[in-house]
Structure 1
Amino acid sequence: MAKLLYSARTADGQSTSGFVQAASARDARDQLVRAGLTDVVLHQEPAIGMEESQLAGLSPAATRQLAQFRLRLMRNPGLATVLQEVARRCTLWLVVDGVMLAWGLWSDRWLLVGAAVALLAFPFLATVWGFRHADRYQQLLKAYSLGRWAQVEALIDKLGSARKRSLQLDFDLDVRRACIRARQGQLAEALGGLESWRSRLAEQRGLYEGRVAAVCASAEDRPGFLRLMGEAHAASGGEPARALDCALAQARFGDVQQAEDMLASVDTALLPPHAKGFVLWTRGVLALRKGESESEPLLAQATAEFLARGDQPAVWTSLAFCACDHAIALHRLGRRDQARLTLNSVLPILRAHADKPLMEMLNNEVLATTPAD
């Protein structure tokens, strides 16, 4: 079962955080409520919870410390947050080294000064060296979002040594390489190359199907994308995150009524905080397809949610497609200049990831110029 990161409040109003082992998001929340916690927020979904190796052997205190660090890292991802955590955990080490350094300087013992400086730097240099894989992965996400496929391939190769440390990273790299193959017209080969993952991810219900759907999307196979998103939802046992993904897929490319029914079934209290943008996006697309004027403010709010996390390359593709839908809504309201400005801001990503029907529609409508303009 997955171990999900959560934050909540205790009976006396104190904030707390940790990991809860559960088979579903609902089960996780129910466990925490039974334990007397309130204001429960789940920051992970069962399919992508913490891996067992990341928590093995940790004491309760160390587990709570890790949970707090993970939450800080979600709010402020990057090396600076990691180095701050290193400084916090090594406080005693740093104090002792500081005393050594001061003593060495005062007594002109330069060997002691050198040793103190080396010891002070060691935990930070070791962290920077270990962070190189995370930095490469961020570079990969940027390159992938912008369609720099050769750079993506090179970074996947460089991350090879990090694969054995994380099953999720290993799968993610294979999926991204498969997406590149699918774009090159090799969909069958790309899907076949991922088949072995089906059994390896059997306990992470719906993850395999949900990620492989992206391979079909890369090959501009909308029916395959919709089918796999439905299979992901079914395999997950109706997990809210998978239901939301399926609702958004149907809203964009499938049946409006099915999308509305799926969205209505989602208990948004069980979704991670970052899912708010996807909920608004789905509602906005449904309103857009039904010709309702409220589509524009909904999509504007959704785009703002993604923009708030715009420093994270992982959201760039979603941001681009959401902004694209917002531009379409603006254009249909006659706000052409604003529509073009919105669309132009994400065009590099759309050109890398949008399928031909969408790009043709954008070129013929939103981006087209007319004498009236």
Structure 2
Amino acid sequence: MPVYLLTATDQHGKRDTHRVNAESAQEACSDFEAKGYGDIVLHNDDAFAAAADLNPVKVEGEHAPTPAEMVQLLDQSNVGFFLFLLKKLYWQFRWGILALIGLLVLKWYINTPFSTLELILCSLYLVPVVLAVRGAYFSSARKYHQLMQAASWGRWQEVLDLAPRLRGVINDFELSVQEACALTGLGRLEAGLERIREYADSPDVPRWMYLGRLAELYGMVNDRKQFIECMKLACEDAPGNPAVQLDYAYALLKFQENLPLAQKLISEVEQQQLGEMLEALLPHMKGILALNQGHLREAEECFLSGVSQLSQKAASQPLTQYFVDLNRAYLAVTYAELGDFKAAEKFYQLAESRLKTLDNSLILERYQSALK
């Protein structure tokens, strides 16, 4: 069952972070509200929880991170992750370290030289440092981060090279999706579709998730009809799932289709308890809606808010960095349509590399058109 992370205040005023098993984020929040908890902050959404539930490796037991630590790790940089591991490892090794310190004090007190074995034992004090470096910079989690960084910059061959090394650690569906996107990015759409269609009838992958990831491939090649249709079917399969609703709204907004429906979907999402990432993405979606409706100042405000909120998480998250640049790109379009070409050029320069690397022709063409 998917796991959700939420922070809430109980009836006695105690605020804590909890790990909750539930069928959906809304169910998790509703259950806590029914128990008398208030001021609930949801840290992950249905898509994140469902993907994590597919992972073959799950850390459990006494050494597993606490719910608060799991939240901390969601946006952790390499350095932050290293310090987190270092602290946790030294705590786990604390009794051995205390014994070593006791040995050092005793040897100093009686003025006795160290034997070779004792020197080796003392060197074990550095073991947590070595393990923390390995975990922060050379673990499978960091390799996955490297894969996502490559994908967010369109380095498709690198994605194909990295994915096989992560089999058995990261869930097969996620890796297959990344391989499918890489194949599509290399101009091999049919091979990409074939790769992901292996999961069409998988009992482990939710239907809405399969359809949503299939839509990504069509979105990459600007197949408007298939992109929107896949997201429509995903939304029908998971009614009330805000992550899917927002993705469907984005599909419509990207191609400037059925704006009233996109607005309705966004309004419905706003009424729900959202994970922090969806909260940060909401201004971006509202900005595209306002831009498509011709409400340029409203769009400007939304995109600036989106950049601000997403930038707080972007340091360690490749996908979030991508959305920061997407906000900047739409800001460039907005300012160009407002006639503020200096501001437009400023934001375009910040996003240009990403847009061209990923061949985002729709935004590039829209920007050039707005400059005329």
When the two structures are superposed, what TM-score results if normalisation uses the length of structure 2? 0.87
Aligned-residue offset at 1:221: 1.7
In the other structure, the counterpart of 2:119 is 114
Q: Distance in 1 between matches of 2:187 and 2:70?
A: 39
Find the partner of 2:321 among 305, 308, 316.
316
Match runs of 1:47-126 below 5 Å: 47-49=47-49, 50-51=52-53, 58=61, 65-78=65-78, 79-80=81-82, 81-104=84-107, 107-126=112-131
CA drift of 1:172 comes to: 2.2
Structure 2 Cα separation of the partners of residues 189 and 54 of structure 1 = 28
- CA 1:101–1:150 in structure 2 vs 1: closer, same or farther (change >3 Å)? farther
Q: Using the alignment, how far apart are the partners of 1:4 and 1:54 within structure 2?
A: 17
Which of 199, 202, 215 is the aligned partner of 2:201?
A: 199
SS of the aligned residue for 2:17 comes to strand
Compute the RMSD of aligned alpha carbons.
2.5
- Following superposition of structure 1 onto structure 2, how do residues 161-310 of structure 1 map, counting pairs within 5 Å? 162-167=166-171, 170-200=172-202, 202=204, 204-253=206-255, 254-292=257-295, 293-310=297-314
CA contact (8 A) 1:201 1:208 kept: no
Deviates most, 215-224 or 258-267: 215-224
Cα gap change, 1:182 to 1:252, in 2 (>3 Å): same
Q: For residues 182-224 of structure 1, give each alpha carbon's deviation from its aligned partner in whole angstroms, at most 9, with x where no partner exists.
A: 1333222211111222333645452222222211122222322
Q: Decide whether aligned partners of structure 1 residues 230 and 114 sit closer, same or farther in structure 2, where only a CA change above 3 A counts.
A: farther
From the superposition, tell whether residues 138 and 47 of structure 1 become closer, same or farther in structure 2 (CA, over 3 Å): closer
Change (3 A) 1:349 1:120: same
Task: Please tell me whether residue 145 in structure 1 is matched to residue 145 in structure 2.
Answer: no
Q: Which runs of 5+ in 2 are unaligned?
A: none
Pair 1:97–1:217, CA change in 2 (3 A) = farther
How many residues of Structure 1 are paired with residues of Structure 2 in the alignment?
359
8 Å CA contact 2:9, 2:16 repeated in 1: yes
Partner of residue 349, structure 2: 344
State the AA in 1 paired with 2:338. Answer: L
Check conservation: 1:69, 1:85, Cα contact below 8 A: no
**Aligned counterparts of 2:120 and 2:53: Cα–Cα separation in 1:** 38
Residues 179 and 214, structure 1, Cα contact 8 Å, conserved in 2: yes
Q: Check whether the contact 1:285–1:325 (CA below 8 A) recurs between aligned residues.
A: yes
- What is the rounded CA distance, in whole Å, between the counterparts of 1:108 and 1:204 in structure 2? 65
Counterpart code for 1:224? Q
Offset at residue 265 of structure 1 (A): 1.3
Post-superposition, which runs of at least 4 consecutive aligned residues in structure 1 deviate over 6 A? none
Q: Would you say the 8 A contact 2:332–2:344 is kept in 1? A: yes
Kindly state the Cα deviation for residue 280 of structure 1 after the two structures are TM-superposed.
Answer: 0.6
Unaligned runs of 5+ in 1: 369-373
Separation (CA, whole Å) in 2 of partners of 1:139 and 1:282: 27
Q: 1:246 is matched by which residue type in structure 2?
A: Y
Q: Does 2:366 align with 1:361?
A: yes
The alpha-carbon distance between structure 1 residues 204 and 174, as it changes in their structure 2 partners (threshold 3 A), is same
Q: Which amino acid aligns with 1:17?
A: T
For 1:136, the aligned partner's letter is K
The answer on whether the counterparts of 1:9 and 1:15 sit within 8 Å (CA) in structure 2 is yes
- CA distance in structure 1 between the partners assigned to 2:130 and 2:260 by the alignment: 55
CA contact (8 A) 1:6 1:19 kept: yes
Query: TM-score under structure 1 normalisation?
Result: 0.86
Query: CA offsets, 1:221-269, max 9 Å, x none?
Result: 2322222222222222321121122122222222211101111111455
Does structure 1 conserve the Cα–Cα contact (< 8 Å) formed by 2:336 and 2:367? no
**Most deviating of 245-254 and 297-306:** 245-254
Q: Distance in 1 between matches of 2:20 and 2:366?
A: 46
